[in-house]
Structure formats: structure tokens, C-alpha cells
A and B are shown apart, each in its own frame.
Chain A
Amino acid sequence: MDKLRMMFQFLQSNQESFMNGICGIMALASAQMYSAFEFSCPCIPEYNYSYGIGLLIIPPIWFFLLGFVLNNNVSVLAEEWRRPTGKRTKDPSILRYMFCSITQRSLIAPAVWVSVTLMDGKSFLCAFSINLDVDKFGNYSLIKGMSETEKIKLLAKIPCKDLFEHQEVRVAASRYIKCISQACGWMFLLMMTFTAFLIRAIRPCFTQAAFLKTKYWSHYIDIERKIFDETCKEHAKSFAKVCIYQYFENISGEMRNLHHHSSKDDSDYEDDDKRRNEEDKLLGIRVQDDMNKALCNWHICKPALALRKEQKNGENNDKLHREGGGAVNGLANGHTHNVEKKEWAVYYSKV
């Protein structure tokens, strides 16, 4: 339990290792599922091939789609793809980069399943036992005098231990097919590793400058979304607090009028201060429609990537900008302060 907790803590320490952790967990889950799965070949000529090959192909497709589902970056990608251009231009290379990174991570678990299936050999045995040439393994007498369909029926029973009587032929045939299956498995692994090697090690030869750019901006999009969500959450909280304060004030105002009570005491001044704090955090957005408009605008017309330079002199207008900004920054700061203290800050959409 303790070890598990420590592992989780280590994995969550930065985003990149978290994503790699999810990849690793899915790969292990894939291997574990294969060993837990009870392979049972139907041993019938018409169904052997479909069962064997189906088991080789369909679970990887499922794992691949699951990888997409579990990856947070998919919704970021979709959002960036579908948003209207507005003030901020769209860069297709960033979309391509994000898509490639998501796809690469999702391909690991299917590759593990295919490798493990091929190394184990049972699915090949099931699919291809019909195509065997039995004389290689011993007695030709076994199939002498049989018609074609009978021969095929007999061969189809090879994967099933309890259905095929001639054990030696069965063992020899399954060794042979398993050997071919393992060869295919190693070839598959070699091909995947070589492709990954080409992509990772040779890529800097070609597109390094553009790569730095796309890496930066895809990370930026991700983190901007996160900070926006945090800001909205804080805003919603302040909105709710102010709404409730005002409600209680209204009620207590009514009660006071009813009972002819005199004015507030000291504790009410503290509450006033707190309330003013909260109201500042609202950034001037105090009505449902205004908030809806802000959220709508965020999607339809994202702001341009060009920050204004703030004035440093103390005029009222500028003060308003700064202080309003300061309040928001204060909120965002409260959440992101601890990031600067961390030693490793890494890209989490890193290829």
C-alpha cells in the first residue's frame, strides 16, 4: 500500500511522468489482460481463422481507442481545432504535433498486446493449423485415405488438447507454428522499435526550429485552458459569496426595519471588508448575462497573443486595470505559486 502510494506520488510530481505513467499502466494492463484471458480455440474449420486473427486485431483497436479516451489532450486538441479564428490565427502544425503526440502514446498498449499474443503463439496455432503439412511431423498414415473435408476437420482439432488423439503430432505441429509466430512477433517488435528510433533520433536533422515552436505553443494552449478554468472557478466562488452576502443583507435589512433595530456593530465592519474583497474578485462581472457573454467570447473570439504593456504611473484608469488584474492574478497566484518552487518544470505534451 505504502509502495503504491509512493509510486503515485512520484508519478504525479510532474505532468510528463503522469502521462508516461498512464501509458505504462495501460501497457501492463494489456499484458495482464492477455494472461488472464482464457484462450479457447473453437477447433472448427470455419471459425478457427476468424477467432485466431480476431483476437490478434480487435483488442489492440480497443486499447488504442481507450488511449484516446483517457488522454486529456484530446479535448484540448478538439477545442483548438473547432474554435472560430477570431483574433487569434490557427496554426495547423500545432494541431498535427498534438495529434502525433497523442497517437504515439496510444499506440503503446496495442503494440504490447500484439507482441504478447504473437510470442505466446496460441492465436497463430488456432488460425493456421488447417494449413499444416502433416507429413513433416511424422506419420503420413494419419491422414491416408481421408477425404479433403475430413483432413481439414482433423487438422482443425490440433489446437485442442483434449480433442486430438495423436499427442506427438500435435506437440510437433504446435511447436512449429509457435516458432513461426514468435518469429513474426520479434519482427514486429523490431519494426516498431526501428520506426520509433527513426522518428526520435533522426527528426532533429530536419525540423528542429519548427519543432521548438510547436512544442512551446501546444504547451501554451494547454496551460492557458487550465488557468482559464481556475480563474472561472474562483470567479464563480466569489460570485456565489457575494450573492449570498447580499441575500442575507437584504433579509437582515428587512428584519431590522421590522424590529426597528439600530445600526451595525464592529463585527459588521469586518464583514464589510471581506465582502468588498470578494466583490473585487468579481472583476466587474456581476450579472449572469455578462458572465455568459464572457464565456461565449472566450470560445468564439479568443484574444490575440499580444499582451498590453501596463502603465506604471498612478492614474485612476490605470489603477483600475492594475488592481482588477491584480485581484485576478492574486487568485491565479494562489494556485500556481507552488509551481515555481518545484525543481523540474517540464512540457507535458512532450514527444
Chain B
Amino acid sequence: MSESRIDRAVNGAMPPLHELSLADKGEETAHHQSQAQSPLRMISSAATAAKDITAKFRAAASALETGQLVKDAYFTLFESVGALEIMDPKMDSGYLKPGEALEDEYDVLQNLPPEEVLGIMDQLLCYEMAWYMGNPLSQTLFTSFYLDRMLWPQPKSLEDAKFDRDKRAAPGNGLIHVLLRAYCVGLIKTCDLAHRTIGGEQYYEEEDFVTNLYHRNLLTDVQTAEVKIVLEEAICWLEAEFALHEALKTALLSRLRFRKAFLVALDFEQGITDAQRPSGWEHCSEILPTLHETRHLGAVVEQSFSGKIQRRLASSVPPRPIVTISFDEACTFLGRLCTHSKEAYSILQYDGPSCAMNYVWYFQARQPQPSVYTRCLLQSLILHYTIVLDQRSIKRFVFDSLQEIVLPGSIMIDPANDDVEAPQDPRFQIVQKMNVFISRVADSYFEIFRAICMNRSRMRRMLCHLIIEWDNIQLEAEAMDTDLRDLTKEQPVVDPKAVGGEIWAFPLSSWAFYLKLQQMEWIVHLGFELDIYRVDELGGMYWQVSSASGEHSNPASRANTHGKREAINNCFTWIDFAMLQASATQSLADGLSCFFAFFANTSILPAPYGQFPYSNGSLRYALRMRPFLGLSIPEVPNYAQFAALASLPLADVPATSKSATKPHSASNNPTAEALALLDSAAEALRNARKEWEAISKASPKIARTTNCDDWWRADVKNVLRACIAANIAVGTAKKAVAGVGKGKGVTDVLRVVVGAEDGDKSKGGYHAFWVVPKVIAL
């Protein structure tokens, strides 16, 4: 702030004194009255001693050149962006146009017909949903005169939360003082509950949600039960109100009932995992259609909302427009919020950590993505204090994961170990070591769950950080594995072909490796979904997916075989499945990688294989691989190796002698190598289809999707559709290429369209992770 005032002085546009001194007073006095007013009029508080600094200020400012910036080292770009210019209507929330009133007038105590009360309720619901969508209260709910009157000055009790804040009996009818008040009280308390649920978990301020309450209190100290009573009383009052038109009465009743249901659904005072909560959400979903059907009965009361209320909320923020969404939009959003929140509770049907992780992944993969409230609710269900999924300890949960992936029935995770008290007993020592391991990995393990609860962009960014941590964990776990061998009496598998002639299980590090590879795959997959990769990068990125899924078979195949029979059987069927999944992913990625490499080598797709003024293939590759460059394994090949492995022409050198100006030149006959790529693509895609078909037949138990099977199956179906489409596209390409020759180049016989390229992803996009090029024979 201070900087902007100096700027104005330097400009020679000295603001009137009252503005200079007022700005320091902050919030309540941010009304910049017109210049005709006495400069010191507003300064009345006993604690403020006003002092005229005009002369001093002018003297100091006159020593500066125009354009000169006086700043200390702490004045960063961030501060400069936060600065406001006083008297600029777009930045100064206190600025008034000539003749403009400081505040809009609205009498919250006036009698209103029922239609208008209904209209106000519906408008409030729109703003409430706009808030859940991530907009600040100042641009949504807090533009309501009714809420403003109720919340400021801060009500000391529930009784105090009303429109007639002074004790005098106020005019206004029951529709206002009973119905609308109950609705508003319910609304505010619900916001309080949502605000606390979101605030207690990880989300990103401003991009997901804005927590600012502008010094208001959302009835935090009032019990939900008390608010429920207010709503119930209002419902009774309305039911006894015979004078009302029946349709209007139904509409108003449904709104109050919805308020109550919504409040109950969000209430976590009985415990976040309370078994009643899913039915609470279901109840909301049941009432919602009535709200929607009766929406036309309401009449809008525009004047009961005003953007000017913002002035009293925060003086240091420029005035921003009210965020308006339609009632239809609000209902759709709310409907999803209710459904998703109810569904979130299915994660509590415990069937092991892999299943829980699958649940979160597929819960989140739906479009549109569940909103921030639901994502935070899901986080609370996964880990609440130290309780995992409402029933397990952190240690037990991580042990379950080890058991599923690498240690079926092993002595290392046997719960009976905890009963051994003799320090010399190996079991006792195993417990000690495993406890160290758990305390090392627990946070990072739950961080994976947390990461996949974020919005899609953040998910990718968080995973990019997290894999570095998992790389470290893997290395440390390797040392622990070696350390534990004596205690577990592990016998290596003798294999003359192996280094040193024997193979050790390395269970802990294999587990870490498995999880790390999973994250790597997600990072690349999300890159496709978020449109991070350009068309010319797709081939290389699918090669990357293929190479990561190729690694996957390593840790899984090292599963320990010294455990209990049944546990091993479970683990093995799952390992078979995991291997199949890795192989299917690899086949599809290989197929697409070869397919795109064919296009690159024949310059069919506009490729950047010319010279960039400031860049080259190697630098671009380094940037693309940046998330993985810091990993110790798998090692990232250098650019030349990568280009060879992915069969891509080196980007420093034009792909053909033709310049990239005319990639569609007629004379580019495919070389034998390029044609071989097409054959490899065809073969890999044939396998991919077979393998994904096999996957689609797996039982929920084997696929570890018992509580999210529908979502998972739908996802696999989409992958299969992508496989089929890719097979057809390769077939078309092969047939078309056969027509090359006799004066026809490859671009004369076929044309390629990539979904993202023509701007519409849904067209031809079967699955967000699998971009299938469309091939058109000419």
C-alpha cells in the first residue's frame, strides 16, 4: 500500500490528505468520500491522533525522479502486484463516481411476498454453490444484504443472528423473520461446516477454494443441533400457514427441508465416519429435484444483493464482480456434490490398501472431477488423526500394503511379533526394525493418497515432487532389506545367471520401487490428459510409458515365497494380474509410440524437426524428462539414446532432406525402417487388444476394485475402445501406404488428425491417457 501512495505523489497527482491518513486505519474506514468532504472528517477514534504530514511528504517526494522506484529488498513482485492505486475506479474499492452513493440501499425488514422470499433463497443457493466452486465469499454469498445484516456486527448467540438486530420490535412478516431467517441461519452454519472440513485437509487456496471470511464468523460456536431446531420450527410454522398458495408452500417447504438435510449431511460432530452420513447425502439428493421443479415460482429480488458490500469486507482488494451462476448450474453442481459425497463413503469398505488406492484414483478420474469439498471429505475418510479408513492403525495399513505387494504371510509383518518380549528373539528385533521403517515411510505413503485427491493439475505437480522422495525411500529400504536378512533367515534363490550367483528378495525396496513406478506412470498419463505434450512429443512420451511399465515387472516378480500358503496364493494371483496390467500398458504404449514414430519419420505429422532459433532436441528432451532426471532408478537415457530407443529422428536434424516448411511434400517415400515401425505398431496393438480384453474379464477381487468396480470397468472399456480404434487406424495406414509409389508420396495417400490438434478432444478421444491418431486414406 505505502508504495502506491508514493507513486501517486511522484506523479504529481497528490491525493487529498484524508486518503493518505485513512489508508493506515485499515478495514472499517475504507470509505473514500468525495473530495468535497473535510479531509479529517473520518478520523474520529480516540486512539487515532491525526497529524498533517503533507509538507513533509511533498518534500520527501520531490527528491525522486519520475519512474524511480523506492523499495527495500523485501518489496518483491508479489508486493507490487498487491499494491492498489487510490482513485482508480478499477482498483480502489472506495472510489465513487460523481454522484454515486457509497452504499446501495436495501431494507431487509420490509415485507416481501412469498415469491420473492423464494427467489432470494434460490439466489442464495446459486451464490453458495459459486463459493463451493472456488470463488470468494465477497463475490458470492456476502453480497446479500440479509446475510450481511445477520453477520455484522458479529452475533453473540444464535438468537442474535437475525435481521432486526436492534431490540426494537421490527416490522416485517413471518416470511422474513421466520422462514428466510431460518434459511439463512441454516445456510451460514452449513458453510461453517464445509469451511472447517476443507480447511482441515489439503487444498490450494484460491485455485481450489478461498477460505477468507472477512472477519465474519459463520456461527462457529453455535451447535448444529440448535440450528436444526430453528429450521424445524420454521417448517412447523410454514406447515400451519394456510393462507399460502399450495404450490408456493411446497416450494418453500422443500427449500427448508433441503437446508436441514444439507446441514445434517455436512455435520461431522458425530464423527466424520459416522455411518449415518451417506444416508444424509442421499436425503439431500432426494429433495433436490423438487427444488429444481419449483424454481420458476420464485421472483428475483436483485436489489437484495450488492457488490458494494465488498467495500466493508476488505478495503485492500480491488472491487471484483459478483460471480453469478444460473440456478440450473447450481442444481447440477449441488447434485454432483451430494452424489459424490455419498459415494466417498464407499472407500470405507476395506479390502486392502491397493483397493483403497484404486478407489481414490477412479473416484477422481471422473469428469467433471469431484469438487474440493468432496475431495477433502475423502482425505478425512482415508486418514483421520491416526485412524486409517475408520478402522486400521497406520502401521497395520502399511503392513497390509507390504503383504499385498511383496510380503505375503512373511514373518516381517506378522502381528504376533508384537507379543514377543525377549530382546534377543529375532522377532523382537524385527519389530524394532520394522517400526523404524514404518516411521520413515508412513508420511510419504499417505502423501500418495493425498496427492491423488488434488485437482488434476496439482496432482501431477505433487507427484513430480513425491517420486524424488520415493526414490530416496527405495535406496534406504535396500539397506534395511540387507539388514533384515539375518533376522528373517532369508535364503537366496540360487541362479547361476544372476550377479553373484544368487537372487535376494529385497522386499521393502521392491515395494518402494513398485509405488514409485506407479507414480511415474501417473505423471506421464496426466501429462496426456492435461494437454502438456505437443503432438510431436506423443511418440516419445508413449515410449516413456512403455519403459516405465516394462520396469514394473521387476519388483513384482521378486515376491517373497517364504510365507503362509493362503497369503502367497492371494499375492500371486494379484501379481499375475499386476504383470498382465503392466504388459498390457506396455503393449498399447509401444504400439502408439511406434505409430507416432512412423508419422515422425515420414513427416506426416507437422513435426518440429527443423531448427528452432533458441532450442534443440536435446534441451527440449531435458525439460520434458526433468521430473525423472533426479531419480537413481530407472535411469533416464540421454537424448541420443532416447531418440534411438523411441525410433525418433534427432530433432536437431531435419527428418528428411525436405525442410519442415512442407512436411506434406509428395516425394517422401517411407524408408524400410519407417515401414517396419508400422509393422511393429500393428503387432503391439494386436497384443494390447488381447491383453486389455483379458484384463476386462478379471474379477473385482483380483483387480482390487471391490468398492469401485463400475468405475474401473468403465475405464478399462474406454482403454479397450482406444485399442480397437488404434488397431483400425494402423490397418488403414498400412493399406494406404501400399499405394505409395508411381509418383505418389506417403502424404498423398494418407492424412492424420490428432484429437488435441483440431481442438476437440472428445471427438475420437476414447480415453484421456491414450491419444489415438485418426488416419484418413486419401
A binds B: no
